[in-house]
A = this chain, B = another copy of it.
Amino acid sequence: MTDAPAPAATLPDLATTDPVELTRALCDLPSVSGDERAIADAIETALRALPHLEVLRDGDAVLARTTLGRASRVVIAGHIDTVPVQGNLPTQLRHDDAVGEVLWGRGTVDMKGGVAVALHLAATVTEPAVDVTYAFYDHEEVEADKNGLGRIARRHPAWLAADFAILGEPTAGHVEGGCNGTMRLEVATTGRTAHSARAWRGHNAIHDLAPVLAALAAHESETVTVDGLDYREGLNAVGIGGGIAGNMIPDAAVVTVNYRFAPHRDAAAAEAYVRAVLADALADLPDVTITVTDVAEGARPGLDHTVAAAFVRAAVAATGAEVNPKYGWTDVARFSALGVPAVNFGPGDPNLAHADDERCPTAQITDVAAALRAWLAPAS
């Protein structure tokens, strides 16, 4: 027991450390959401040692940018927090018969690999072909209103000004463009209570959900092509509730619906779509309300933009990356809302994000770094 402060966490030298080793070092620093101070301090210290970068900080978000006066600017971004550790730290290098060497442990997929690649490039590509803003931010794995990138967008939108953005979220080294939007709606029915021994005196709100569920079950979701990528939508009940007691006719019931909508729709169009799907079901019900409780619009992939197209060509040429739509909502939509086309491109299988056996082939970390280097520094 001592009153002396713990020594500050430090990162190995960015310019000379392999991205895989850097990923390990980042994973082994405490950084569960809400506890990002130490890793943010370490990143800030490491970046301030690089004379070619201007460093900015807001809370536990750290940005560093080149100021070379290039014709275009790109943002390369990643969050520095992880979901809680489940006995899966410190990291281990393991061998996997299928994919070779893997780095195992919390954060190896989501998303210290992407962060390590960005830090590595920040230190080693001192004169990129485009100006680059590297952004490392906090609170991505928790409630959206705490999100560090969202905070920067509100407080310092100029810090994120760019022609294109790359988010290093895990995509297994492929390019995933844009993202679907997501909306949650509550469909609530209203009845009249009665003792269930005299049910005819009441009106059963749970029974009124029958046509709503039938419409959802029968609905066939669309696949929509946006900027050349096929976005598959989804419309699902994700929650249902109702009932007062085992001997009461319920006067209220609610089904929570989640609509994942392609990025050609905005929030208003998405709500109108759900209402249209349910219109016939609701026509005969006495008292139904539909309330949008949560919405995040998607992001068009924007791959027709000159800078984006150049990146995609370079990435495909360097690593054979595929170009696919992103189904899940990610922070690329925050860039989209700022008018910046954005893609996801990072190491790690997204299906292993948050898993207890989260692990990333080290080759993917190396490949993603090589692809970005091929684009940012084609001559090197």
Contact = CB atoms under 8 A, between A and B. Distances in A.
Interface string A233-254: 0101111111111111110010
A328 B197 contact: yes
Contacts of A240: 206, 209, 240-243, 253
A11 to B, nearest CB: 32
Interface stretch (A26-34, A214-222, A332-340, A362-370): A214-222
The count of identical subunits is: 2
B258 A196 contact: yes
Nearest to A235: B199
| Residue from A180, A234, A256 whose CB has the most chain B CB atoms within 10 Å | A234
For A195, A216, A241, A258, which residue has the most chain B Cβ atoms within 10 angstroms? Answer: A258
A301 to B, nearest CB: 16
Interface string A178-196: 0010101000000000011
A234 B200 contact: yes
A234 B204 CA distance: 12
Interface in A82-119: none
6 contacts: A196-B260, A197-B234, A199-B260, A209-B240, A214-B214, A237-B242
A243 B246 CA distance: 20
Nearest to A239: B243
B195 A328 contact: yes
A204 B247 contact: no
A357 interface: no
A199 B249 contact: no
Given A207-B216, A238-B250, A239-B246, 20 more contacts: A182-B196, A197-B234, A197-B329, A198-B327, A199-B260, A204-B237, A206-B236, A206-B237, A206-B240, A207-B213, A207-B217, A208-B217, A210-B214, A211-B214, A213-B213, A238-B247, A240-B240, A240-B241, A240-B243, A246-B258
A232 interface: yes
A246 B256 CA distance: 8
A246 B250 CA distance: 24
A217 B210 contact: yes
Report whether over half of chain A's contact residues are helix, strand or loop; otherwise say mixed.
mixed
A236 B214 contact: no
A213 to B, nearest CB: 4
Interface residues of A, number: 47
Interface of A: 180, 182, 184, 195-200, 204, 206-211, 213-214, 216-217, 221, 232, 234, 236-250, 253, 255-256, 258, 260, 294, 327-329
Contacts of A237: 204, 206-207, 242-243, 250
Nearest to A248: B238
B196 A236 contact: yes
A234 B327 contact: no
Nearest to A210: B213
Contacts of A245: 238
Contacts of A327: 197-198
B210 A216 contact: yes
Contacts of A246: 184, 238-239, 256, 258, 294
A232 B260 CA distance: 45
A247 B216 CA distance: 16
A199 B221 contact: yes
Nearest to A232: B200
